[in-house]
C-alpha cells in the first residue's frame, strides 16, 4: 500500500467496525487431555481480544488480555496493550481517542519514512492526532494537531489560532510591511 492510499483509507477512520463481544471460553478438559499427554495437567489459558483496527491499515488499538493459569491454579497476567505513538508524541491505545490526520504531522512522517527513520506503520501512526490535541486554524480552517496550530497575536491585537502554514504566510506579510515601512520612513519623517 502506498502513502496516498493509506491516507485515503484513514479518512474512513470513524467507520471502524465494532469489535465482537467477548465470549469467555472455559477450559475444556476433554480437549486438553487429547492434546496434552500429561493426564493431571489442568493448566489453561484464557484470551480476550479487544483490538480496533483503522480500516485499510495495520494500525490496531486496544488490549489483548491473556491469562495463563498453571496446574496449581496460579494465574499469570500476560496481557498486552496495543498502542501507538502519534504525531504529538503521545501514546494512544484507544481508537476512540484518535481525532484525525494532521497534514503537517503527515508531511513530517512521510519525510521521516522516506529517510528510513520510521517504519511504514510508525509513519502511519505519526500522521494521527488525538482528541486532546484537536485544533483548527482560524484563518484557513485546516484541522490539525495542537503542535501545528498555535495562538498568535495578530496585527490587530486579536489572538487567533494559526496553523504553521498561515503563521509562515503572516510572517512574510509582516516582513513585507516592515520593509515597505522602512523604505517609506524618510518620507514619513519629513512630514
Q: In angstroms, what is the minimal distance from the CB of 129 to Zn ion?
A: 6
Of 101, 109, 118, 166, the one binding Zn ion by CB under 5 A: 166
Of residues 93 through 132, those in contact with Zn ion by CB under 5 A are 102, 104-105
How far apart are alpha carbons 157 and 154 in whole angstroms?
5
- Considering only CA atoms, give the Rg of the chain: 27
In the complex with Zn ion, which residue's Cβ is closer, 62 or 113? 113
Q: In angstroms, what is the minimal distance from the CB of 104 to Zn ion?
A: 4
Segment contacting Zn ion by CB under 5 A, of 23-31, 54-62, 147-155, 177-185? 147-155
Q: In angstroms, what is the minimal distance from the CB of 90 to Zn ion?
A: 11
By CB under 5 A, residue 140 contacts Zn ion = yes
- Going by the DSSP 8-state scheme, the letter that residue 116 receives in this structure is T
Of 139, 152, 160, 170, the one binding Zn ion by CB under 5 A: 139
In the complex with Zn ion, which residue's Cβ is closer, 98 or 102? 102
- Going by the DSSP 8-state scheme, the letter that residue 25 receives in this structure is -
| SS3 state at 113 | helix
| Distance, C-alpha 104 to centroid of its chain | 13
By CB under 5 A, residue 91 contacts Zn ion = no
Closest CA to 164 of 117, 121, 104: 104
Contacts of range 111-120, beta carbons closer than 8 Å, 24 or more positions apart: 113/3
Q: In angstroms, what is the minimal distance from the CB of 139 to Zn ion?
A: 5
Element counts in the chain: helices (H) and strands (E): 5, 12
Binding residues for Zn ion, total number by CB under 5 A: 11
Of 99, 109, 123, 145, the one binding Zn ion by CB under 5 A: 145
How far apart are alpha carbons 77 and 44 in whole angstroms?
12
Q: In angstroms, what is the minimal distance from the CB of 109 to Zn ion?
A: 9
Q: Exposed/middle/buried for 190, CB within 10 Å: 0-12, 13-18, 19+?
A: exposed
Of residues 19 through 38, those in contact with Zn ion by CB under 5 A are none
By CB under 5 A, residue 92 contacts Zn ion = no
In residues, how long is the chain?
191
Interacting residue ranges for Zn ion, rule: CB under 5 A: 87, 102, 104-105, 137, 139-140, 145, 148, 163, 166
Amino acid at each position: 500500500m502506498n502513502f496516498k492510499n493509506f491516507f485515503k483509507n484513514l479518512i474512513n477512520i470513524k467507520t471502524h467496525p465494532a469489535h465482537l463481544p467477548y465470549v469467555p471460553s472455559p477450559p475444556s478438559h476433554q480437549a486438553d487431555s487429547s492434546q496434552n499427554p500429561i493426564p493431571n495437567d489442568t493448566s489453561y489459558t484464557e484470551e480476550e481480544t479487544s483490538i480496533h483496527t483503522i480500516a485499510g491499515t495495520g494500525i490496531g488499538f486496544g488490549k489483548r488480555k491473556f491469562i495463563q493459569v498453571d496446574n496449581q491454579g496460579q494465574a499469570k497476567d500476560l496481557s498486552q496493550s496495543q498502542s501507538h505513538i502519534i504525531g504529538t508524541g503521545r501514546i494512544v491505545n484507544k481508537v476512540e481517542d484518535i481525532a484525525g490526520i494532521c497534514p503537517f504531522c503527515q508531511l513530517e512522517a512521510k519525510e521521516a519514512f522516506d529517510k528510513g527513520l520510521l517504519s511504514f506503520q510508525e509513519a502511519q501512526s505519526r500522521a494521527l492526532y488525538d482528541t486532546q490535541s484537536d485544533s483548527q486554524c482560524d484563518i484557513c480552517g485546516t484541522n490539525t494537531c495542537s503542535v501545528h496550530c498555535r495562538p498568535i497575536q495578530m496585527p490587530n491585537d486579536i489572538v487567533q489560532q494559526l496553523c504553521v502554514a498561515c503563521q509562515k504566510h503572516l510572517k512574510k506579510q509582516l516582513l513585507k510591511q516592515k520593509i515597505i515601512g522602512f523604505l517609506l520612513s524618510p518620507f514619513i519623517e519629513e512630514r
